[in-house]
């Protein structure tokens, strides 16, 4: 039966010897198993830090097993963390705006005023204007739909735009 000379690895020379003997093989093990993306160098260092923190509990003959188990668990935790990060990167938050509440309130009030002004237009003006600006139809298409000439459509759109511009400050549509 082999007699143990040391009960723990808290002595500096013993720990340094373990590090020099096992650090490269632990790094290689993590690199081959998980790849470079999860930073096996960092996990190797963290495993040795955990070994040092638990040096009173770990005997020299159990140190290698302790290191490889801790390092593997650190990598598995990192894999789990990366999955969570990926999940939340793919989930887009709903109804999040970067506008201030004042801006949102002003926008809502402006929209109400816009609806009121639209309602005050004649039916011909409103129809021609909305077909052009909201639905993107060209003047010729609107003229065919309404059964009027293109000039009449242009006049209705122009007059609707003029009313909107005078009633609403800063109104501008391209």
Which of these, 137, 63, 51, 2, lies nearest to 127 by C-alpha position? 137
Sequence-separated (6 or more) residues with CB below 8 Å from residue 10: 55, 56
- C-alpha neighbours within 13 Å on the C-beta side of residue 106: 8
DSSP state of 87: H
Contact 14, 6 (CB under 8 A): yes
Sort 67 into a burial class: Cβ within 10 Å, 0-12 / 13-18 / 19+.
buried
State the pLDDT confidence band at 69, using cuts at 50, 70 and 90: very high
DSSP state of 134: T
**What's the length of the chain?**
174
Q: Rounded CA gap, 174 and 172, in Å?
A: 7
State the pLDDT confidence band at 104, using cuts at 50, 70 and 90: confident
Give the tens place of pLDDT for each residue, 35-66. Answer: 888 889 999 999 999 999 988 888 888 999 99
Give the tens place of pLDDT for each residue, 136-172. Answer: 889 998 999 889 999 999 999 999 888 888 888 766 6
Give the orientation angle of helix 12-34 with respect to helix 40-53, to 10 degrees: 150
Domains of the chain plus CATH, in order, are 12-90 (1.10.1740), 101-167 (1.10.10.10)
| pLDDT value for 174 | 56
pTM of model > 0.75: no
């Amino acid at each position: 039966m082999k007699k143990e000379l040391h009960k723990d690895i808290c002595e500096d020379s013993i720990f340094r010897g373990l590090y020099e003997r096992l650090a490269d093989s632990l790094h290689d093990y993590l690199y081959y198993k998980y790849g470079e993306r999860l930073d096996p160098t960092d996990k190797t260092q963290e495993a040795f830090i955990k070994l040092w923190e638990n040096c009173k509990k770990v005997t020299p003959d159990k140190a290698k097993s302790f290191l490889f188990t801790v390092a593997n668990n650190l990598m598995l935790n990192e894999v789990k963390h990366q999955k969570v990060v990926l999940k939340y990167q793919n989930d887009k938050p709903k109804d999040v705006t970067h506008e201030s509440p004042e801006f949102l309130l002003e926008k809502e009030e402006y929209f109400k005023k816009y609806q009121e002004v639209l309602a005050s237009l004649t039916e011909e003006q409103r129809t021609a204007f909305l077909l052009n600006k909201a639905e993107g139809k060209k003047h010729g298409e609107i003229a065919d739909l309404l059964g009027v000439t293109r000039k009449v459509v242009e006049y209705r759109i122009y007059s609707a735009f003029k009313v909107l511009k005078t009633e609403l400050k800063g109104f501008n549509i391209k």
